[in-house]
Amino acid sequence: MGHETRAASLAAEAYVYGTPLVRGLETVGMLTQDGLGSLPATAFNHFAHAEPATGWPGDEGTLCSLAPLDLSEGPLVLQVPPSGPRYAVYQFVDAWTNDFAYVGLRAGGADGGSWLLAPPGWDGQVPGSVREVIEAPTAVATLVVRYACVLGDAEDVAAVRELRAGLALHPLTAPGLGRGGLPGGDPLAEPALRFWERLRVWAGDFPPSGADRAYQERFQSLGLLEEGATPYAEPAAELRWALEEGEAAGRAQIEAAAWRWGQDGHEGDGGEEDGAPSGRSAEGGGSAGAVAPAAEGGSRGGWKGAAHLFDFNLDHLGPGTLDAPPWRVADRSEAYLRRAVAARVGLWGPHGYEATTTQTYRDAAGERLDGANAYTLRLPPPPPAHGWALSAYGVPRRPGPEPRAVSDRTPGLVREPDGTVVLRLSARPPRAAAANWVPVPAGPFRAVLRLYVPEAGYRVPGLVRAEPE
């Protein structure tokens, strides 16, 4: 292998390694400067709230809020309202897209209170009113908040809005000017090498764990460890070629890995009928969990998910996380690839023990789902610990509002004496048990079931074609 080829191979490795940082911070930059999808532009340390009419992709049965966090001037205090038995999660994601802490119904926090969000290495005095300290691995992070909500129920939506009104972030000490935005890099860097310039600058400003910093040393020859002026203003022809070839090869490697997850039973927004997983990129409005893990116990009837896609955080597992072998990728190189795939198809998704998505394109007999038919799904007891939501999407997915989801919170939901919930999926509403009806589009569709804090071993049966009414 020649020197130039080795350099391109190294650049491909660096592209896979650095994609989560660049994609994640580009999305944060979009949120703070221009807005993100339906969310308005939101300053650091403030919340942006999705609304039922626009929703947030991939969060069936919940309303999502985002807050870009800036801890560069010191800790923040997060005030959380009491949410009672309603499913709620406050998920903390660092600049490298690692989920490093959780607060909420599963992890503690249903009764509300205050948490201190500290920058890396902070050892100051903790106020007595604070329940727990959450140390962030990087000075910039993202807080993802989800509340279970029936989006078509005005009373439930109003209740969530009242909860949101109780959310607050404020500095522990006197506030400074804070960040006006993220560092953009040297403007002299060639536009074609913008990815590399952002990776160079952001990796320096938001350094990863010690193990990852040691791994980064291998990229010295690519200019990624250079400080000060950019090495990408007028790079040598050999370096430019290696970076451009490496970026293309690294992108192809991520796409291939995402497709393998789909083919192996871990499908993303794309799938067998959609083509390769398309995800939702920063350019398309971002995603908070567009691809989340599947029920740990597995499923039947074509249900597929990605139970351990988000298990790539190996170094900083804080409050609310599970630091156990089932939820940690053993191989660090594999962790880097999974992290890149997750950033590609499900940016800021949670661990599988917090929330999981499983989906199917086929019924229990193996036939493709189609709105010309009606189907039933029997969710057996015991139900997932903290709720579920089921919805149906056209294939390929079409632009427009999020489809109506039926969830454990749907008013009037009918349950059988043993707790089983029988759901009907059809284009036309049924004559009885209208609350248990999941509307489906005309033509091919996929059913998406989101489980919140699922029971270990919970299995989802297949959809059974029903007789027409």
pLDDT of 35 above 50: yes
Q: Which residues of 304-317 are buried (b: 16+ CB within 10 A; e: fewer)?
A: bbbbbbbbbbbebb
Sorting pLDDT into bands at 50, 70 and 90, what band is 133? very high
The CA distance from 130 to 198, in Å, is 36
pLDDT score for 266: 41
pLDDT score for 2: 67
Q: Which residues of 3-23 are buried (b: 16+ CB within 10 A; e: fewer)?
A: eeeebbbbbbbbbbbbbbbbb
Which of 165 and 291 is assigned the larger pLDDT?
Answer: 165
Q: Do β-strands 76-80 and 48-49 pair in parallel, antiparallel, or remain unpaired?
A: unpaired
Which of 62 and 457 is assigned the larger pLDDT?
Answer: 62
pLDDT score for 273: 42
Mean pLDDT of 49-77: 83
Q: What is the DSSP string of 124-153?
A: -PPPTTEEEEEE-SSSEEEEEEEEE--TT-
Q: Which residues of 262-301 are buried (b: 16+ CB within 10 A; e: fewer)?
A: beebbbbbbbeebeebbbbbbeebbbbbbbbbbbbebbeb
Which of 224 and 174 is assigned the larger pLDDT?
Answer: 224
Mean pLDDT of 188-203: 96
pLDDT of 228 above 80: yes
Q: Which residues of 187-206 are buried (b: 16+ CB within 10 A; e: fewer)?
A: eebeeebebbbbbbbbbeeb
Give the strand order in the sheet containing 304-305: 304-305, 355-360, 445-452, 388-394, 406-407
What pTM did the predictor assign? 0.89
**What would the pLDDT profile of 168-186 be if each residue is shown by its tens digit?**
999 998 776 566 679 888 9
Other C-beta atoms within 10 Å of 164: how many? 15
Structure token digits, residue 284: 């398309």
pLDDT score for 293: 34
Q: What percent of the chain has pLDDT above 90?
A: 69
Mean pLDDT of 414-434: 91
Structure token digits, residue 286: 């971002």
pLDDT of 7 above 50: yes
Q: Tokens 């930059």 label which residue?
A: 29
Mean pLDDT of 93-116: 96
Mean pLDDT of 78-84: 96
Mean pLDDT of 144-156: 91
pLDDT score for 185: 87
Mean pLDDT of 268-294: 34
**DSSP alpha helix (H) spans, 184-315:** 194-205, 210-216, 237-263
| Angle at the Cα of 28 from the Cα atoms of 25 and 29, rounded to 5 degrees | 90
Distance of CA 317 to the CA centre of its chain: 17
pLDDT score for 59: 64
**What would the pLDDT profile of 286-338 be if each residue is shown by its tens digit?**
333 333 333 333 445 688 887 789 999 999 999 999 999 889 998 999 999 99
pLDDT of 155 above 60: yes
pLDDT of 71 above 50: yes
Q: What percent of the chain has pLDDT above 70?
A: 87
Q: What are phi and psi of 100, to 5 degrees?
A: -115, -5
**What would the pLDDT profile of 234-269 be if each residue is shown by its tens digit?**
999 999 999 999 999 999 999 999 988 765 444 333
Which of 5 and 169 is assigned the larger pLDDT?
Answer: 169
